[in-house]
């Protein structure tokens, strides 16, 4: 099929919430092809431990592309142990300038417990305002819901879970089968 004719994979809502001394990254499990749910239990949030430093990453977009980026991020983290910001910037620079990487269609939310970043193929490494970041098809719904809960006494995990539940109720490409990873500074 030509790219224009391919119905396209849809799925993934990833949220990162930083509150108090912890960061939670949560992702749903749905992968859709056109109007069909292909899988409801995909795992799009991973814990990485390059150089003995824990990092949590969630991805939206093409799975193969995301795994390529996660491998590159791990290599950058091994070269700069404990320096997530530097590794993220190096990955974004490579992603923007390397002809092979430029074709990758994915986004990442990463955290080491102290910082949280969104990394895009446009060369962006964004530290979100209000300590909430969200990507993917239901990302805007989850982001709005989480921002509305940030002043409450809920934990980062509760905010992430509740925001994802709201996104799953609104976005047809998001479900309630969550993978949740928590990391502290």
Identify the helix (H) or strand (E) that includes residue 181: strand 179-184
Q: What's the token pair of residue 113?
A: 């417990």
Give the Cα-Cα-Cα angle 42, 144, 136 (nearest 5 degrees): 30
d(CA 100, CA 62): 15
**Is the CA virtual torsion 111, 132, 135, 31 positive or negative?**
positive
User: Do residues 29 and 40 lie in contact, with contact meaning Cβ atoms separated by under 8 Å?
Assistant: yes
Distance of CA 174 to the CA centre of its chain: 14
Nearest of 145, 167, 141, 121 to residue 29 by alpha carbon: 167
Q: Name the active-site residue from 12, 13, 63, 174.
A: 12
Whether 12 is catalytic is yes
Catalytically active residues are 12
């Amino acid at each position: 099929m030509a790219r224009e004719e391919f119905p396209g994979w849809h799925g993934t809502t990833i949220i990162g919430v930083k509150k108090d001394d912890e960061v939670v990254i949560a992702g749903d499990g749905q992968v859709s092809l056109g109007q069909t749910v292909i899988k409801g239990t995909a795992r799009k949030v991973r814990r990485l431990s390059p150089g003995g430093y824990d990092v949590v990453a969630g991805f939206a977009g093409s799975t193969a592309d995301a795994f390529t980026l996660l491998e590159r991020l791990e290599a950058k983290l091994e070269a700069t142990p404990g320096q997530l910001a530097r590794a993220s910037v190096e990955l974004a620079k490579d992603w923007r300038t390397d002809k092979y990487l430029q074709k990758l269609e994915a986004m990442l939310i990463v955290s080491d417990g102290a910082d949280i970043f969104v990394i895009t193929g446009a060369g962006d490494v964004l530290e979100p305002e209000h300590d909430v970041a969200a990507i993917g098809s239901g990302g805007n719904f989850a982001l709005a819901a989480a921002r509305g809960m940030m002043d409450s006494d809920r934990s980062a995990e509760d905010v992430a879970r509740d925001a994802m539940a709201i996104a799953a109720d609104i976005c047809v490409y998001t479900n309630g089968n969550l993978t949740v990873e928590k990391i502290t500074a």
